[in-house]
Amino acid sequence: MKVILNQDVKKLGKRFEIKNVSDGYARNFLFPRNLAKLADPASINKITQAKEIATQKDLAEQEALKQKATELNGRTFEIKSKAGDKGELFGSISEESIKDLVVKESGTALKSVALEKPLKEVGEYQLKVDLGHQIPAEIKLIISAE
């Protein structure tokens, strides 16, 4: 039976793909969970149009992220935290706190920040960030004592 996937299905395929599956798998697993629908000519036409629209949206989103990446590259962000006499922070600066800082100051949401471990000392750090769609940027983070 030919089906069109409504969303990504592990070990089967990605959204909008047309796949041949057994009748029982389609009726008992895919259809009840709304993971797929029957691939008839009308559905195939609709899915082709939806796939084109999704591709265009994806490309537009990537262009917007590239623009944001150029704006973020080299930008400096500063965060203040309580620290001891030797510059050791009482807490730590985690990936989440860096994401929150960047969103607050620049309005740009980050997918991830390349940190091996939370930052625990006062200083300057060059950080690589991912905005999504594997679009990188590099920011400078200054951690200063309160």
* CATH number for the segment(s) 69-145: 3.10.430.100
**What is the sign of the dihedral through the CA atoms of 91, 97, 102 and 103?**
negative
Instruction: For the chain, list residues with pLDDT below 50.
Output: none
Fold equal for 2-61 and 69-145:
no
Residue ranges per domain, the chain?
A: 2-61, 69-145
CA distances from 19 to 10, 39, 44, 113, 115 (A): 13, 9, 12, 37, 40
- Residue 9, sorted as left (phi over 0), alpha (psi -120 to 50) or beta, turns out to be beta
CATH of the domain spanning 2-61: 3.40.5.10
Place of tokens 């991912």: 130
Q: What is the pLDDT of residues 83-117, one digit of tens each?
A: 988 889 988 899 999 999 999 998 888 899 888 88
| Amino acid 127: pLDDT | 92
Predicted pLDDT of residue 139: 93
Predicted structure pTM score = 0.68
